[in-house]
Amino acid sequence: MSGPFWPVHLRSLATSDSQFIFASIAVYIGPMLGIMLTSTFWGRLGDRYGHKAMMMRALFGLAATQFALAYANDVSAILALRFLQGACAGFIAPAQAYGVSIEAPARRAKLFAYLQVSTNLGSLAGAVIGGVILDHAAFFWINFSAALMCLACLAAVWQILPAVAPQYAKIDAKAQKTALSADARTRSVLKSPQILSLLVILGLLLLSRMVTQSPFSIYMLSIFQVENWLVGFCYGLLALGFVVSASLWARYFEGRNRQAVLTRLSLVIAGCILVTVLAGLTRSIAVFASLYFAWGVLLGATTPVLTTLISRATPHDRQGHILGFTQSLSQFSSIGGIAIGGWFAQVAGFSNLYFLVAVFYALGLAVTLLARAKATITDPGQEAIHDR
């Protein structure tokens, strides 16, 4: 609910232009930095002690920090709390690892797609509701309402979801003696050229997407001169496009080998380049909104598909660790995108923002084509060996 509106709130609290510029970027980077620094650690704890406990820990951290943010009226306190929020929370990675533990390997692509759908449904509804709240009430009620929702989610996880024994605990003593250590096994996976190329592609695509995060609300208010609820609506259209398309993309990519996936992903990235160029050119709010929805449809074929390929190549008892590392990398890329976008908007102007997004997508397309050229057609049985 607060996503697109932090710069609007911080502008009323900042005592100088320089403080506002710094804070409007740091308020997004802070939680991502916290997640980046802690996700791998929480993932390893989840592998050892269970991912349900990690989900509950994350939800409690979210609820506590949202309550604190509701009452924070100092820029420095807000930034500190946002960093703490990321460090204590980080719900997505344990949720993915928990889902892997209860879902059949053959349905993993759909699992990641549905998890992304649920988060984007939250982005869609939250952005609109946050805009309505801000049009009729104080920013306080956005954070206060979010804290209550996090507590409700904590109760739901505690009461509804079954506990699952950690995969690490299921390895017998003899197997542990003959197997590589957990850290060595993880390092061996990360040294895989295929995994590294997928991580680089994922990072570039997330960086491209997040360039518009910090300046989005001010871009819309200055270019289109619309009300806050319409800002939230357009912000949410990206998520709506993702929701509509993610499960269809998962079905489309399901069962295809790495080379085939990268071939089709190249076309999707090319579509993102076209859409973002057109978004930067248009001065019609209707056209802009339509393009944002189309962008979301294309994004439904990116993160879930790449995460599935990474998970498929990872040993089952290392899922939490690798997915935590992937989450840390995702946050690092998002931080880079937000920082670059905020800086570029101040230096080159808001009107050129979406052309910068297209440039980064072009770089992602080049890396994807290079990875595809080096990829070999892998036997499905070999790709699924870790699932067993």
Three-state SS string over 305-358 comes to HHHHHHHHCCCHHHHHHHHHHHHHHHHHHHHHHHHHHHHHHHHHCHHHHHHHHH
Q: If we measure between CA atoms, which residue out of 307, 301, 299 comes closest to residue 238?
A: 299
- Cα separation values, 228 from 9, 66, 220, 222, 224, Å: 12, 21, 9, 12, 11
- Assess contact for 277 and 78: CB atoms under 8 A: no
pLDDT at 290: 95
Task: Determine which helix (DSSP H) or strand (DSSP E) holds 133, and give its type and residue range.
Answer: helix 108-136
Which residues, 6+ apart, have CB-to-CB distance to 266 below 8 Å?
Answer: 365, 368, 369, 372
pLDDT at 131: 85
Neighbouring C-alpha atoms within 13 Å toward the C-beta of 220: 25
Answer for the pair 239, 296: CB distance below 8 angstroms, yes or no.
Answer: yes
Mark residue 195 as left, alpha or beta (left: phi above 0; alpha: psi -120 to 50; beta: remaining).
alpha
Calpha distance 225→80 (Å, rounded):
32
Tokens representing 131 are: 């805009």
pLDDT of residue 99: 87
Q: Give the pLDDT of residue 362.
A: 96
CB 3 within 8 A of CB 234: no
Torsion of CA 173, 177, 182, 186, to 10 degrees: -130
Q: Can you tell me the distance from the alpha carbon of 279 to that of 162, in angstroms, rounded to the nearest whole number?
A: 45
CATH 1.20.1250.20 is right for the domain spanning 3-161+180-371: yes
How far, in Å, CA of 177 to CA of 215, rounded?
Answer: 53
Quote the pLDDT of residue 303.
Answer: 84
pLDDT at 190 (0 to 100): 58
What is the reported pLDDT for 204?
Answer: 93
Whole-number Å distance between alpha carbons of 112 and 94:
12
Task: Give, for all 388 residues of the chain, the pLDDT tens digit.
Answer: 888 888 888 888 888 888 888 888 888 888 888 888 887 788 778 878 788 888 999 999 999 999 999 999 899 999 999 999 988 877 887 888 888 888 877 777 778 778 878 887 887 788 888 888 888 888 899 999 999 999 999 999 999 998 887 765 554 444 444 444 545 555 555 566 677 888 899 999 999 999 998 788 888 888 888 887 888 888 888 888 888 888 888 888 877 888 888 899 999 999 999 999 999 999 999 999 999 999 999 998 888 888 877 777 666 666 666 777 777 788 788 888 988 988 898 888 888 899 999 999 999 999 999 988 876 544 444 444 344 3
> What Rg do the C-alpha atoms of the chain give, in angstroms?
21
Q: What is the mean pLDDT of the chain?
A: 82
- Distance, in Å, from the CA atom of 231 to the CA atom of 128, rounded to the nearest integer, reads 8
Largest CA distance in the chain: 67
Which residues have CB under 8 Å from 281's CB, separation 6+? Answer: none
Read off the tokens for 260: 């085939």
User: What global pTM score does this model have?
Assistant: 0.69
CA dist., res. 10 & res. 314, Å (int): 42
